[in-house]
Amino acid sequence: MDDLEKMKAGLWLYARQPQIREALQRCEELVFRFNSLPPSREEERNALIRQLFGRTGGTFVIHSPFHCDFGTQISIGDDFTGNFNLTILDEAPVTIGDHVFIGPNVGIYTVNHALLPDQRNAGVMRSLPITIGNNVWIGGNSVVTQGVTIGDNTVIGAGSVVTRDIPAGVIAFGNPCRVVRPITEADRITDIA
């Protein structure tokens, strides 16, 4: 098993390895090119994201600046919107469903570092996957941590720190993020202009 495979498998490892460094550099170059292009060059920007990500749906919008570590571990569904300053640290797979809206300044982090300083300084880390279901909205300035699953049709309030799984069909917010209530038909907006 090579270093990238160990990382993707969620094993504790020394991450400062040439193979990992090369993959990070490849990603950094593509992300730099993406962030350098103006929004008016949407076709070129989308082509770079398709080259960078493991899978993309038919339609998506990602605003600059955008940052990720590898890109190849990110999978987005149809009608994805990633607002300004989205950061996805994809040492493990990040799977995002259809019709997902992510607010500005959101961080999605699959990686965790060793707690003891000597191990952390030596590059010991582990990554666990993150799954975000369909029809999810994650409010601005939120953080989603490693190993978390967010269920379909859920809203994560702005400024939340999601450290545990959140079920489908709920509003959840806070630090740590907690379920506040289910989303019901009473939440339907009826006075649309």
Burial class (CB in 10 A: 0-12, 13-18, 19+), 14: middle
**Which of these, 39, 112, 34, 99, lies nearest to 68 by C-alpha position?**
34
Rounded CA separation 179/46 (Å): 35
List 63, 67, 99, 113, catalytic entry: 113
In terms of Cα–Cα distance, which of 70, 105, 62, 67 is closest to 90? Answer: 70
| Largest separation between any pair of C-alpha atoms in the chain | 59
67 is known as an active-site residue: no
Indicate which residues carry an active-site annotation.
113
